[in-house]
Structures are given as C-alpha cells and as structure tokens.
Structure 1
Amino acid sequence: MFNKTRIISGVIMVFAVLVVALIDQFVVNFIIFGALLYFAFEEAQKLFGLENANVWFALLCFILGSFSGKALLIGVLFLLLVVGYLVYKKASNLKLTLIYIYPVLPILALWQVYLSHGMFALFWLIVIVVSCDSGAYFIGKMIGKTPFSQTSPNKTMEGVIGGLICASILGTIVGVFVYDFGLALLCSFLVGVFAVIGDLLESYFKREAGVKDSGDLIPGHGGILDRIDAVMIAAFIMVALL
C-alpha cells in the first residue's frame, strides 16, 4: 500500500535537513543550495526541451544574490536581462526565459528566506511543506476517494485537505516559538496552499513533457525538482509575509 523506498528516502532526507539545520553554516548552506540549483536547472532543461540554456549564468546570479543578500531581486534582474537579450536578438519565442522563471526564481526565493530570516524560518518552511506532503500522502492512501485534479491523478481531495490541516497544525506549533500565533497560523496555512500549487505545477510540466519524474537522483522520489517543487514555490509566501 505504501511505497517503502519513498518512506525510507524521506526519513533520510529529514535527518539530513536536521543535521544541516543544526550545523547552520553559511558556506555549507551556500554549497547545498548551489548544488540544488545546478541539478534542478539540468532537470528543467530536459523537461522544457531547452538546449541553449546556460546553467553558469544562473549560478552567477545565485552567487551575486548570495553575497548581496538580495537573491530574489538579483534573480528578477537576471531574468530581465535574458528577456532583453532575446528581444534584442528578435528570438522567435521567449521560451528560454521559462527555465529562469522556473526553477531559478523559486530556488532563489527559497534561498532568500534563509538570507533574510535565518535557518529557523527555512527549517519552519520545510516542516510545513513536509507536513502537508506527508499528511496528504498518508491520509490520501487511507481514506482518499475523490479525485483532486486531472493534472495530478494520484491526489485526492481528502488527502489535500488532510495535508493542509496537518501543515496548519504542526506549522503553527513550530512557528509560535518565534512568531505570534496569528502570523504562524496564517503563514502555515498559506505555505500549505502554495505547496500544493507547487506540486501541481511540477506535475503539469512533467505531464507536458511526457515523463513520470523530473529525474532519478532520489530513490522513490525522482529528481531534485520532484522533491523541492512544493517548498520552493511556497517560499514566496515566507518572503511576502515575514
């Protein structure tokens, strides 16, 4: 009934996140996020069928954003540079910009949460998203009957609602250690909502590309984008509310 490989990999990733959170060294986090951006970019290239996207341009954006403390803003500026270049060259379409909109900007938004609010906020975000995803998975498997979306046929309405409830409860419990109850509850619920959107968005891209997973780097979970799709879209809520 349950995918054991997925569960084991999930437990290992949770343990890894805890270790990184406890260490909380900028250099370590910088390397990890740089690697996430690199592998996510490579996966997105295949999903979108792009051959001329330059990952080093994205990494330069990440580096400049990291040391300026304005990763998301730098990401927007770099996106505009790409748009300007394509318009200047009178490109037949602006499809190349898609990879900078997704996943580059969302990953930079995730990194911005850490740059602006520290490890607790980043850890809190991950806790909310994992709670939402795990709650939706287990509750959906146990009592899910009503299809949620054609974009993601395996999701059920019962699972999604259960996931949002889990995210709201656990997220609020963790959030009140630093933020007031109202903000913790609102942020937890909205992060859960946007996590669902992030998951659906990735499912849409994979369906359009005709693939099951964005990659095969993580056993039971697929690629990097399959695992961080929800958290990097939900990061925009943290940037907006905190």
Structure 2
Amino acid sequence: MFNATRIFWGLGIVLAVILMALIDKFFINFIVFAALFYVAFEEAKKLFKLENESIIPLVLAFLIGTFSKEALLCGILALLLMLGFLVYKKAQNLNPALLYLYPSLPLFALWQLYLDNGMFAVFWLIIIVAACDSGAYFIGKFMGKTPFSQTSPNKTLEGVIGGVILAVILGSIVGLFVYDFWLCFFCSFAVAIFAVIGDLLESYFKRQAGVKDSGNLIPGHGGILDRIDALLIATFAMVTFL
C-alpha cells in the first residue's frame, strides 16, 4: 500500500535537514544550497527542453546576492536582464527566461529567507511543507476518495485538507519556539496553501513535458524538483510573513 523506498529516503532527507540545522555553519549551508541550485537548474533545463542555457549568469547573481544580502533582488534583476536580452535579440520566444523564473527565483527567495532570518526559519518552513506533504500522502491513502485536481490525479481533496491541517498544527507548535502564536498559525496556514500550489505547478510542468519525474536522483522520490516543488512556492509565503 505504501512505497517503502519513498518512506525510507524521505526519512533520510528529514534527518539530513535536522543535521544541517543543528550544525548551522554558513559555509556548509552555502555549499549545500549552491549544489541544490545547480541540480534543480539542470533538471529544469530538461523539463523545459532548454538544455543549451547556461547557469553562469545565475551563479553571478547568487554570489552577488550572498555578499550583498540581497539574494531575492539579485534574482529578480537576473530575470529582468534575461528578458531584456531576449527582447534585444528579438528572440522567437521568451522561453529561456522560464529557467530564471522557476526554479531560480524561488531558490533565491529561499536563500534570502536564510540570509535574513537564519536556519531556524528555513527549518520551520521545511517542517511545515513536509507535514503538509506527508499528511496529504498518508491521509489520502487511508481516507482519500474525492479527486482534487486533474493536474495531479493521485491527489485527493481529503488528503490535501488533512495535509494542510497537520501542517498548521505542527507548524504552529514548532514556530512557537521563536515567534508568537498568531504569526505561527497564519504563517503555517499560508505556507501550507502555497505548498499545495507549488506541488500542482510542478505536476503541471511535468505533464506538459510528458514525464513522470523531473529526475531520478532520489530513489522513490524522483529528482530534486520533485522533492522541493512545494517548498519553492511556499517560500514566498514565509518570506512575506517574516
């Protein structure tokens, strides 16, 4: 009934995140995040069929954003510069800018969240999203009957509602270690809602590309984008509240 490989690797990812949060060294976080950025960008290139695009402009934006503490702004500027370049060259379409919009811009937002609020905020975000995803998966398996969206046929309305409720409860509890209750409650709710949107968005991109997974890096989960899809969009809700 349950995918044992998915559960095993999911627990491994959770333990790795907890270990990172406990160590919380800037250099280690920088290296891990840079690697995450590279793998996500490479997966997106295949997803959007833009395999000739270079990551170098985004690397420069990432470095400048890190040293200036304005990662999200640098990501936005990189996107606008790419759009300007494509328009200047009178490109047949603006598709290459997709890579600067997704997953790059959300990743810049996630790094900005870390730069501004530290590892606890990132850890809290991951806990909320993981609770939403796990709740939707398990509750959907046990109780799910009503289809949620044609974009993601395996999701059920019962699972999504259960996932959001679990995310709000667990997110509120964890957030109370640093923030007040109402901020924790509303932030957890917003993050959970946008996590669902992020999951649907990735499903939409995969259906458009005609693929099941964005990659095969993580057994039972697919690629990096398959694992962090909800996190990417939910990041904007967390950045807004904090």
State the TM-score, normalizing by the size of structure 2.
0.99
Matched AA of 2:91: A
Counterparts of 2:141 and 2:232, CA distance in 1: 25
Following TM superposition, by how much is the alpha carbon of 1:53 offset from its aligned partner in structure 2, in angstroms? 1.4
Following TM superposition, by how much is the alpha carbon of 1:238 offset from its aligned partner in structure 2, in angstroms? 1.1
Once the two structures are superposed, the pairs formed by residues 95-110 of structure 1 within 5 Å of their partners are 95-110=95-110
Residue 240 of structure 1 corresponds to which residue in structure 2? 240
Following TM superposition, by how much is the alpha carbon of 1:71 offset from its aligned partner in structure 2, in angstroms? 0.5
Matched AA of 2:203: S
Once the two structures are superposed, the pairs formed by residues 76-225 of structure 1 within 5 Å of their partners are 76-225=76-225
- Aligned CA RMSD, in angstroms, stands at 0.7
- SS of the equivalent of 1:206 reads helix
- SS of the equivalent of 1:239 reads helix
State the TM-score, normalizing by the size of structure 1.
0.99
Counterparts of 2:227 and 2:58, CA distance in 1: 20
Matched AA of 2:68: S
Tell me, yes or no, if the aligned pair for 1:37 and 1:59 is still in contact at 8 Å. Answer: no
Following TM superposition, by how much is the alpha carbon of 1:52 offset from its aligned partner in structure 2, in angstroms? 2.8
- Give unmatched runs, 5+ long, in structure 2: none
Following TM superposition, by how much is the alpha carbon of 1:64 offset from its aligned partner in structure 2, in angstroms? 1.2
Counterparts of 2:216 and 2:20, CA distance in 1: 23
Residue 57 of structure 2 corresponds to which residue in structure 1? 57
Following TM superposition, by how much is the alpha carbon of 1:176 offset from its aligned partner in structure 2, in angstroms? 1.2
Matched AA of 1:93: N
Residue 231 of structure 2 corresponds to which residue in structure 1? 231
Tell me, yes or no, if the aligned pair for 1:202 and 1:229 is still in contact at 8 Å. Answer: yes
Deviations 1:14-52 (A, max 9, x none): 000010000000110001110011000100001101133
Counterparts of 1:48 and 1:124, CA distance in 2: 31
Q: Which runs of 4+ in 1 moved over 3 A?
A: none
Percent identity, aligned pairs only?
68
Counterparts of 2:155 and 2:238, CA distance in 1: 25
Matched AA of 2:50: L
